[in-house]
Homo-oligomer: A and B are copies of this chain.
Amino acid sequence: MQIERRDFLSTLTLAGAATLFSGNPLIAATSPKKDKLGIALVGLGYYSTDLLAPALQLTEKCYLAGIVTGTPSKAEAWKAKYNIPDKNIYNYQNFDQIAKNPDIDIVYVVLPPSMHREYVVRAAKAGKHVFCEKPMAPSVADCEAMIAACKSNKVKLAIGYRCQHDPNIQAYMKVAKEQKFGKVKMVNSAAGYFDARTDHWKQKKALGGGCMGDMGVYALQGARLATGEEPISVIAQASTTRPDIYKEVEETMMFMLDFPSGARAACQTSFGINMNYLQVNYEKGWLKLEPQSGYNGNKGSMSDGTIINYPIKSQQAKQMDEDCLAIMNNTDLIAPGEEGLRDIRVVEAIYKSVATGKSVKIS
């Protein structure tokens, strides 16, 4: 029944389909100036399944047009659930053929971090705009290659920093920008959760695991966005309380950042500790957020009595819609590849600090 419907659709003329199925995204995707961009999710793990796909039912500027997966059973389940035509379902071998598919405007790479570079570059070469999950990649070199590939193929590259689309996070970014309470003096930024899994990519170095990339970028973003500055040096310590599980990567990372203005930050991240908060102490006040990087419910307060509590329906839907608008209108992305690179530059310095036991300058 499903298959028949898709076959039927594919034989329709565009005009006829548009008439018959007005508002159907499958048709909109093929129009010259689309109302909604078609997104193909690459990698159908937890985040795609439980966050992005549901969010794509809420988006106004994009829709779930396709999937890329190496697991045939997942392909079957998704195509049934989301009515995805076979022609928009790819595996990792035939992925590059996506270049010829007009339904797909954007490839959203949701793979383990070690695979981001390859799939971002392949997507860019296929002429597709790219969304890439955080952490952008395991290395600065990877990030630079990804940015270069998107640039040379004239496609946009957005990093999946959902929080930067969250008005609760934007509230403290604004405080930094306007210097509402004067200079930032001290930031404390923590983001971690207890991960009970024992055999996940997050625990494997080769796949880009470790808490620093996965949760640590939230702790880092807390400090970077609260100061509105880029750190100039970092000293870090990695630790593990479950050495049987965290053999290759750190369970916990603590790091201290030094900013050009004299602001400083203490950041903590972990796969062993439930914690998620931001505290900023300014010259003339303070700001708190807890949680600071939740999928929802981020909220807080400021020393002048301002309450930060802007509920949003879906961070991810807002993120994808805003990124799609930037693509449609050819305007600046909120979190382009360069923003992902800024974090990875610090992450690389953090690992260097762990290796040397000393403070590391960030160039």
Residues of A within 8 A of B (CB): 185-186, 188, 190, 192, 194, 235, 237, 239, 241, 252, 254, 256, 258, 262, 264, 266, 268, 270, 272-275, 277, 279, 281, 283, 286, 357-359
6 pairs of A and B residues whose beta carbons are closest in the complex: A241-B262, A185-B273, A275-B281, A266-B266, A186-B273, A357-B358
What are 18 A-B interface contacts by the 8 Å CB criterion? A185-B270, A185-B273, A186-B192, A186-B268, A188-B190, A188-B266, A188-B268, A190-B279, A190-B281, A194-B283, A237-B256, A239-B262, A254-B266, A264-B268, A274-B281, A274-B286, A275-B281, A275-B286
How many copies of this kind of chain does the complex include? 2
A279 to chain B, nearest CB (A): 7
A120 to chain B, nearest CB (A): 34
* Contact residues in B for A235 (Cβ distance below 8 Å): 235, 237
With A190-B188, A275-B186, A277-B279: A237-B359 Cβ-Cβ less than 8 Å:
yes
A286 to chain B, nearest CB (A): 7
* Contact residues in B for A254 (Cβ distance below 8 Å): 256, 264, 266
Partner of A186, one of B258, B262, B270, B286: B270
The residue of chain B having its C-beta at the shortest distance from the C-beta of A186 within the complex is B273
* Contact residues in B for A256 (Cβ distance below 8 Å): 237, 254, 256, 266
If over half of A's interface residues share one DSSP class (helix, strand or loop), that class is named, otherwise mixed; here it is strand
* Contact residues in B for A277 (Cβ distance below 8 Å): 279
Give complex CA distance A268, B266 in Å. Answer: 8
A9 to chain B, nearest CB (A): 52
Q: Are A272 and B185 in contact (CB under 8 A)?
A: yes
A290 to chain B, nearest CB (A): 9
Give complex CA distance A188, B239 in Å. Answer: 16
Give complex CA distance A241, B264 in Å. Answer: 11
* Contact residues in B for A241 (Cβ distance below 8 Å): 262
The residue of chain B having its C-beta at the shortest distance from the C-beta of A359 within the complex is B357
Give complex CA distance A268, B258 in Å. Answer: 13
A236 to chain B, nearest CB (A): 9
* Contact residues in B for A358 (Cβ distance below 8 Å): 357-358
Give complex CA distance A273, B272 in Å. Answer: 30
The residue of chain B having its C-beta at the shortest distance from the C-beta of A262 within the complex is B241
* Contact residues in B for A194 (Cβ distance below 8 Å): 283
The residue of chain B having its C-beta at the shortest distance from the C-beta of A279 within the complex is B277
* Contact residues in B for A192 (Cβ distance below 8 Å): 186
The residue of chain B having its C-beta at the shortest distance from the C-beta of A184 within the complex is B273
A192 to chain B, nearest CB (A): 8
